[in-house]
Structure 1
Amino acid sequence: MSLPDGWTLTASAFNLTPAVIRAERTAPDLALTLVEQGIAPAIEIELGQMWRGFPSPPAVDVQAFRDRLTAAGGRVSIVGVSIDEFDHGRRRTDAERRAFLEPQLRTAAWAGAAGVRLPIGQAGALLDELVPLLEELDLVLYEEAQGHETPAARPEAYGRIAALDTPHVRLLLDISMLMPALPVTYLERLERGGIRPDLLRRLRDEWRDPATHDAVVDLLRSGQVPGPVHTLYMNLLVRFGRSHVHDLASVLPLLGGVHLKFWDLDDADHRISDPLRDVGAALAATGFTGTLCSEWGGQEWLDDDPWEMTSRHLALAGALLSDRPSSAPSPRASTP
């Protein structure tokens, strides 16, 4: 079986961030490899990672990238953009925020993207006035929700998308919101970093229990989170969600894109595949059309090859979303 009509599997160039940091090749060159190696026909890119001159990179560089990508048989699906809220410590006005964002939208259009992506709610008061520009550029603004940003937690932000009722502003769901269990390699990293055994047990066995969240907050407030894993620990409060797909039923008609977030490839108990199956069934029931992008978050603590990780994840996701058994193995991802 193949994916339903209107569904496109893509890959995020964000997955290659460790290679971008090493700077042995340019970010555009690295992004192109996802298409050149046959990993995905369309890619998401992060504008701030791609070119100098952000938020207004040289048009000639953007056009050169688009030409090379087209020649390789690929295209840009979504461009990650941002709004810098402060200028030398002073909060920007709405007019300044728009002036910061608008060249990014035009750059995305030059790159041939179908849309741009912002964190849900960040556009705020700008959202209504951006619609005419989005129509002019033939772009969709995707507001991305992830982790703990459920409809119950952010009702106003979701409600604004629904109230606008335009195809140029849609919701993008990151399935980090739907984690039945935490990544095995992440838990191992916390254990090596000295997190208390009693909390580790709860994180392993009772992730979706609200009392586990309380215990996570209590340890943080106590000041007893070991320094070497303090930043990693914050994922428990920000990036890792514990919702069920039925918690999203009211907003599924707003969806235009999905981030198939994954951390490692340890799927022995279906902690990766179950959310993919659940999301696939929910999207099929609502007539979804759009992109489903493989995004690797585990680079924060793993040093695995990002091309291999992305390729294997897309093989697994493609099989599950097509409702056929995967022939791709789901081996344990190595740790540093």
Structure 2
Amino acid sequence: MSSIKRGVSLYSFQNETFQGKMSLEDCVRTCAELGANGIEIIGEQTFWGWPEVGVEDAAVAEWHRLMQAYGTTPVSHDFMLDYKRYKGREMPFDEQVASVKNDIDFGARLGMKYIRALVSIAPEVLVAAAPYAEEKNIKILIEVHAPLHFDHPWIIRHAEAFEKAGSDALGFLPDMGMFLFAYPRVWKEKFLRVGVPRHIADYIEKAYEDRVLSEYVILNVQQMGGTGPAIAMAEVTRHNAAFEPKRMLDYMHRIHNIHGKFYEMTADYVEPSIPYDEIVAVLQKGGYTGYICSEYEGNRWIEDFEEPDSVEQVRRQQVMLARLLGEATVPSLKTPIAA
């Protein structure tokens, strides 16, 4: 059996938590029943008011109670630092560093090993915050997220800055959405529902499969008479690509957590657009021993048409991951979520 561990980002349950269908305890219990014992959060989702107002000790104590009660492990607090939209001005460097330190403190209160940094954050900010992260025994992981990838100049700049700083507190969190080998079916179906002609949608899907340059795809759609939603469907190809999972191998010494992005899990436990069999094989080859945390983002592509069942989708991905990791037990749920 693989030493890679399974977890869930509670971001996967955003529809259910926003609608009040799942409490934090429901989310944690669901993950535990699936054997996905690593819990990742977005602070703003799980703790209302963060980071504008502080989180009370009682809320943090309840978090730790849940972790102990269900045998789960805090993995990562995903923080934002949207410094471009801060009080109508760009946040100065020193304030950015202070903001990161605030999230380090919060992650430490929750018992997290990692905090996730948005890819837009400059490496100099993270390097400046690294000594404080070391003191708190936390690693800052910048998310490598499509359309960026491990050969992108911005990611290379981070890698060089991390190596120069020599701090073990700096690393990467790859998002598996950068390995989008097929145009997701739920995307295509959504664009069809909003008016994209079938022949144009079929062309875009095939062009993505053939790795046609996005600029040519957009131009061809325009020449086919596509407007509005059709152009938007073609534009999506600019922000996604089938990058190579094996590129993670050169950075494995700084990869400590994985976002198991997925848009759809079929009834036979397959993600049709992302090659998880190849991804898991690469991670095993690289000696990865951290978590793969399910991150369901298909909900936003279907909620105009049907009620998302995020729990079932996460269950299916956890079954797929357990199989790929060589686990003997099939993940299953014991406690249904009340409607």
The equivalent residue for 2:59 is: 61
Q: Which amino acid aligns with 2:314?
A: T
| Residues 18, 299 of structure 1: 8 Å contact kept | yes
* Long gaps (5+) in structure 1: 329-336
Deviation string, structure 1 residues 70-129 (Cα, Å, up to 9, x no partner): 122112111111113133211111121223232221111111111110123514321112
Aligned pair in 2 of structure 1 residues 142, 89: CA closer, same or farther (>3 Å)?
A: same
| Residues 150, 248 of structure 1: 8 Å contact kept | no
Question: Aligned with 1:15: secondary structure?
Answer: helix
Aligned pair in 2 of structure 1 residues 210, 163: CA closer, same or farther (>3 Å)?
A: farther
* Long gaps (5+) in structure 2: 332-339
Shift of 1:273: 8.3
Q: Which amino acid aligns with 2:39?
A: I
Tell me the distance in 1 between the aligned counterparts of 2:29 and 2:157.
39
Tell me the distance in 1 between the aligned counterparts of 2:176 and 2:126.
24
Which of 11, 15, 18 lines up with 2:12 in the alignment? 15
Tell me the distance in 1 between the aligned counterparts of 2:266 and 2:326.
21
Which of 82, 85, 90 lines up with 1:84 in the alignment? 82
Paired residue total: 321
Tell me the distance in 2 between the aligned counterparts of 1:281 and 1:68.
33
Q: Which amino acid aligns with 2:9?
A: S
The equivalent residue for 2:321 is: 317
TM norm structure 2: 0.83
Shift of 1:60: 2.8
The equivalent residue for 1:177 is: 178
Aligned pair in 2 of structure 1 residues 252, 275: CA closer, same or farther (>3 Å)?
A: farther
1:294 counterpart = 2:294? yes
TM norm structure 1: 0.83
1:193 counterpart = 2:194? yes
Match runs of 1:74-223 below 5 Å: 74-85=72-83, 86-153=85-152, 154=154, 155-218=156-219
Deviation string, structure 1 residues 213-233 (Cα, Å, up to 9, x no partner): 12454459x992239x95x77
Deviation string, structure 1 residues 36-81 (Cα, Å, up to 9, x no partner): 5445212111101122331132233112211222122112111111
Judge which range, 13-22 or 192-201, deviates more: 192-201
The equivalent residue for 1:44 is: 40
- Over the aligned positions, Cα root-mean-square deviation in angstroms equals 3.1
Aligned pair in 2 of structure 1 residues 169, 301: CA closer, same or farther (>3 Å)?
A: same
Question: Aligned with 1:171: secondary structure?
Answer: strand
Tell me the distance in 2 between the aligned counterparts of 1:92 and 1:3.
43
| Residues 123, 157 of structure 2: 8 Å contact kept | no
Question: Aligned with 1:166: secondary structure?
Answer: coil
| Residues 38, 73 of structure 2: 8 Å contact kept | yes
Tell me the distance in 2 between the aligned counterparts of 1:96 and 1:327.
47
Judge which range, 92-101 or 158-167, deviates more: 158-167
Question: Aligned with 1:45: secondary structure?
Answer: strand
How much identity, in percent, do the aligned residues show?
18
Aligned pair in 2 of structure 1 residues 29, 233: CA closer, same or farther (>3 Å)?
A: farther
Which of 306, 310, 314 lines up with 2:310 in the alignment? 306
Q: Which amino acid aligns with 1:279?
A: I
The equivalent residue for 1:29 is: 25
The equivalent residue for 1:331 is: none
